[in-house]
């Protein structure tokens, strides 16, 4: 028997594994769609019969008890579950497009969206993102809390993925990139250096992974790359399971500068050469900055060949509306400190 070549076998193994995972996913999608449609129909029937016979809330409680008896204690038909089905039907009965999207995500994801999101366009965004990025319920909840839809509307995504990657991969990469990231879970209330910010993120890597979204697997920080006798260190290195790509994240504590993209381009070339496996897709870069000039970013990314995205992050939430305008601006605060300092010098 001829000796099995390791690289050939790994490719063979991955082909089989991908076929199995694809078949399982398709089976799940089929069963899930059936269950969502069933719950919708149950909700519809409850409302129809309540209206027809002028039944009140007690009929839902009786229905729950009788269903459990008839189905030998089967789960999923509690009083609350039946009320959820009723609400689900009411929310989507006149919105066939949203209902079709809802059939592609799990029931508990659907209820989270129905109960926490009231705007239909926002629901469309979260349903679509959940399906395409395979968000877990925890990730979906985090995206909702972080106002991902509002970021999507107000902050354009900026990358050269469309130019630097094949079409199917560029679409997925663009979905993985957010227009803005909310890092208020770090509890930062004063200026920090880049290394401090990095250490804080590593210390709360689970929270950061939730903010990044589904598919990111953390490899390490200050990951060393060597070229000849020189050493280089990337801030954060991830692997994305859906994209099948290594992802380099560089953290900046100042406004985006053109040289950031050049440095990331260099890092990605090293990562592709030294770390990327044969069956991996091209490595992707994300530069996180507290602020950026959109025109400048667009101009710079058009000159770069490696796939790079640039996004802003926030370390603290915005002030409550009632406090806006009542606290001094940074300039006013600086002037006050300057005046106080002068007064103290004059007294000495």
**pLDDT recorded at residue 154:** 72
**Structure tokens given for 26:** 């398709």
Please, where are the H alpha helices in 192-288?
194-203, 205-212, 258-274
**pLDDT recorded at residue 317:** 52
DSSP assignment of 3-16 equals PPPHHHHHHHHHHH
Topology of domain 153-319 in CATH is Trna Endonuclease; Chain: A, domain 1 (3.40.1350)
Q: How far apart are CA 233 and CA 220, in angstroms?
A: 11
Collapse the DSSP code of 215 into the 3-class scheme (helix H, G, I; strand E, B; otherwise coil) and give the result.
coil
Contact 148, 299 (CB under 8 A): no
What does each of the 348 residues of the chain score in pLDDT, given as a tens digit?
A: 577 777 778 777 878 887 888 788 778 778 999 999 999 999 999 999 999 999 999 999 999 999 988 888 778 899 999 999 999 999 999 999 999 999 999 999 999 999 999 999 999 999 998 887 778 888 889 889 878 888 777 766 889 998 899 887 888 888 888 878 888 888 877 777 888 888 889 888 888 888 888 789 999 999 999 998 899 999 999 999 888 999 999 999 889 999 999 999 999 999 999 999 888 999 999 999 988 998 999 999 999 999 999 998 888 654 344 434 443 444 443 454 444 345 444 544
What does DSSP assign to residue 321?
A: G
Where do the structural domains in the chain lie, given as residue ranges? 14-145, 153-319
Contact 75, 31 (CB under 8 A): no
**Widest pairwise Cα distance in the chain:** 94
Q: Which of 249, 271, 256 is nearest to 201 (CA)?
A: 249
């Amino acid at each position: 028997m001829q000796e099995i070549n390791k690289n050939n076998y790994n490719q063979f193994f991955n082909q089989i594994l991908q076929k199995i995972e694809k078949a399982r996913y398709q089976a799940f999608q089929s069963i899930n769609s059936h269950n969502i449609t069933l719950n919708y129909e149950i909700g519809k029937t409850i409302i129809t019969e309540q209206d027809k016979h002028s039944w009140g809330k007690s009929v839902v409680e009786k229905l729950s008890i009788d269903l459990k008896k008839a189905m030998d204690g089967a789960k999923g038909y509690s009083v609350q579950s039946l009320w959820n089905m009723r609400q689900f039907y009411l929310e989507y009965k006149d919105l066939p497009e949203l209902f079709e999207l809802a059939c592609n995500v799990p029931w508990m994801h659907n209820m989270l969206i129905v109960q926490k999101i009231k705007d239909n366009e926002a629901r469309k965004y979260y349903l679509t993102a959940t399906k395409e990025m395979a968000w877990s319920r925890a990730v979906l909840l985090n995206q909702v809390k972080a106002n991902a839809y509002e970021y999507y509307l107000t902050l354009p995504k900026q990358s050269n993925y469309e130019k630097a990657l094949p079409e199917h991969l560029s679409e997925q990469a663009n979905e993985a990139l957010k227009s803005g990231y909310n890092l208020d879970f770090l509890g930062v209330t004063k200026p920090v250096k880049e290394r401090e910010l990095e250490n804080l993120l590593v210390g709360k890597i689970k929270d950061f992974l939730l903010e990044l979204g589904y598919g990111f697997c953390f490899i390490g920080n200050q990951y060393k790359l060597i070229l000849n006798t020189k050493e280089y260190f990337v801030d954060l290195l991830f692997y994305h399971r859906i994209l099948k790509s290594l992802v380099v994240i560089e953290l900046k504590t100042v406004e985006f500068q053109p040289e950031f993209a050049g440095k990331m381009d260099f890092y990605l070339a090293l990562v592709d050469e030294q770390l990327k496996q044969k069956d991996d897709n091209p490595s992707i870069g994300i530069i996180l900055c507290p602020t950026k000039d959109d025109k400048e970013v667009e101009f710079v990314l058009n000159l770069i060949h490696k796939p790079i995205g640039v996004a802003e992050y926030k370390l603290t939430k915005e002030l409550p509306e009632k406090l806006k305008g009542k606290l001094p601006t940074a300039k006013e605060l600086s002037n006050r400190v300057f005046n106080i300092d002068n007064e103290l010098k004059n007294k000495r």
